[in-house]
């Protein structure tokens, strides 16, 4: 099979011919149709996330068809179209796994980081951590749902019952979350990098009631805010905008250092929360939800061989929405 392989961090991916992997008893073999290009991939590529498995096939927003199942797999059959997320496996025996908090497992495996992922024609995945893909999404449009959608949804849940919700960084996750929020009567106020008028226009088109620069006060006080941009200075900025008892959720796996800020910013029981990975329950909830809420994903497709270009375009903010590799 063809695969784009990361041999060393901060070096371009290399197109290689690799053996098609063989599934274990608990795995499925997937012929990949599409794989999203996530900012986490960029963090791995650039070395912000340390100690990946090398050489490595990046990619954890995988959609494809099952072509072989392991002996113990009951959840899927050959021909099913499924999705593979970031959380690829867990130990099943630690205190977190036993308490339905497997997102905090002490010995996890992560797709496209410690486990080979989807920048390839085929991959294997643990069946219990995969999800059925609804029929109303073509594969390229479904790919961003596997991380931008799932992590966005967990971040949205962590924000509580906010009626006025701020979102900082209007990329792949935000453009999905805003549609869920709008369907539930939540007002979304979108914040972009200063001067990003195209991003602000896109946010309003996707359902935000207001969009402006990240350092601009919104027209109303926020009940909660989600920060998707990996920029630590946005944490005190968001704290200034949320009401008493408000919540600021950091939705990314990596963020630059948070600068010091006056205690008054967090006074009155304001909270800062981080989001780590996802649970199987999150995934089941999310995919059930989007069967009834029509989520439109804005995607920009690239060939497998153009994965390096996709990563560079993502870094430079060359598009709105999400980048997706169209594999077959």
**Of the residues 274, 291, 306, the one at which a domain ends:** 274
Burial code of 246-256, b = ≥16 C-beta within 10 A, e = fewer?
bbbbbbbbebe
**Of the residues 238, 254, 274, the one at which a domain ends:** 274
Quick one: 185 and 249 in the same domain? yes
Domain that holds residue 24: 2-149+277-326
* pLDDT number for residue 183: 96
* pLDDT number for residue 179: 97
* pLDDT number for residue 328: 75
Angle between helix 148-158 and 172-183 (nearest 10): 50
Quick one: 208 and 301 in the same domain? no
DSSP lists the bridge partners of residue 188 as 165
Quick one: 168 and 268 in the same domain? yes
308: CATH: 3.90.180.10
**Of the residues 232, 255, 274, the one at which a domain ends:** 274
Cα–Cα dist 245/308, whole Å: 43
* pLDDT number for residue 294: 86
Query: Which stretches in the chain have pLDDT values below 50?
Result: none
Three-state DSSP at 307 gives helix
* pLDDT number for residue 175: 95
SS3 percent helix, strand, coil of the chain, rounded to 5, is: 30, 30, 45
* pLDDT number for residue 21: 97
Quick one: 142 and 282 in the same domain? yes
Quick one: 266 and 156 in the same domain? yes
Closest of 60, 32, 59, 43 to residue 9, by C-alpha: 43
Quick one: 157 and 233 in the same domain? yes
Quick one: 11 and 144 in the same domain? yes
* pLDDT number for residue 184: 96
Quick one: 155 and 270 in the same domain? yes
User: If 0-12 CB within 10 Å is exposed, 13-18 middle and 19+ buried, where does residue 72 land?
Assistant: exposed
Quick one: 139 and 204 in the same domain? no
186: DSSP letter? -
Cα–Cα dist 193/205, whole Å: 17
Please count the other Cβ atoms lying within 10 Å of the Cβ belonging to residue 197. Answer: 10
* pLDDT number for residue 292: 87
Cα–Cα dist 125/309, whole Å: 26
* pLDDT number for residue 302: 98
Cα–Cα dist 42/47, whole Å: 8
Domain count, the chain: 2
Quick one: 254 and 296 in the same domain? no
Quick one: 142 and 283 in the same domain? yes
Task: Give the CA count within 13 Å in the CB-facing half-sphere of 225.
Answer: 32
CA–chain centroid gap for 36, Å, is: 9
DSSP lists the bridge partners of residue 299 as 322
Task: Give the CA count within 13 Å in the CB-facing half-sphere of 83.
Answer: 31
Quick one: 23 and 105 in the same domain? yes
Residues 6 or more apart whose CB falls under 8 angstroms from that of 249 comprise 155, 158, 159, 224, 225, 226, 227, 273, 274, 275
* pLDDT number for residue 227: 98
């Amino acid at each position: 099979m063809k695969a784009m392989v990361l041999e060393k961090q901060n070096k371009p991916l290399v197109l290689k011919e690799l053996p098609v992997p063989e599934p274990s008893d608990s795995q499925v073999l997937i012929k990949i149709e599409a794989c999203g290009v996530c900012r986490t991939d960029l963090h791995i590529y650039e070395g912000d996330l340390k100690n990946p498995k090398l050489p490595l096939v990046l990619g954890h927003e995988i959609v494809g068809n099952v072509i072989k199942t392991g002996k113990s797999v009951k959840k899927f059959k050959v021909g099913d179209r499924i999705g593979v997320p970031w959380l690829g496996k867990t130990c099943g025996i630690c205190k977190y796994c036993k308490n339905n908090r497997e997102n905090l497992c002490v010995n996890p495996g992560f797709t496209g980081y410690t486990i080979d992922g989807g920048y390839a024609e085929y991959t294997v995945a643990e069946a219990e951590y995969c999800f059925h893909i609804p029929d109303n999404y073509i594969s390229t449009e479904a790919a961003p749902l596997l991380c931008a959608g799932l992590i966005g949804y967990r971040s949205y849940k962590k924000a509580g019952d906010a009626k006025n919700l701020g979102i900082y960084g209007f990329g792949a996750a935000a453009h999905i979350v805003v549609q869920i929020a709008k369907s539930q009567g939540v007002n979304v106020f979108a914040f972009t990098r200063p001067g990003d008028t195209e991003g602000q226009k896109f946010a309003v088109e996707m359902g935000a009631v207001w969009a402006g620069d990240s350092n601009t006060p919104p027209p109303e006080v926020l009940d909660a805010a989600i920060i998707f941009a990996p920029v630590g200075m946005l944490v005190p900025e968001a704290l200034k905008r949320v009401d008493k008892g408000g919540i600021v959720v950091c939705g990314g796996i990596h963020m630059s250092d948070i600068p010091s800020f006056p205690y008054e910013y967090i006074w009155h029981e304001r909270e800062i929360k981080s989001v780590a990975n996802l649970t199987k329950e999150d995934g089941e909830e999310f995919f059930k939800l989007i069967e009834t809420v029509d989520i439109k994903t804005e995607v920009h497709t690239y060939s497998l061989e153009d994965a390096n270009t996709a990563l560079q375009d993502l870094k430079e903010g060359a598009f709105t929405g999400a980048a997706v590799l169209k594999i077959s």
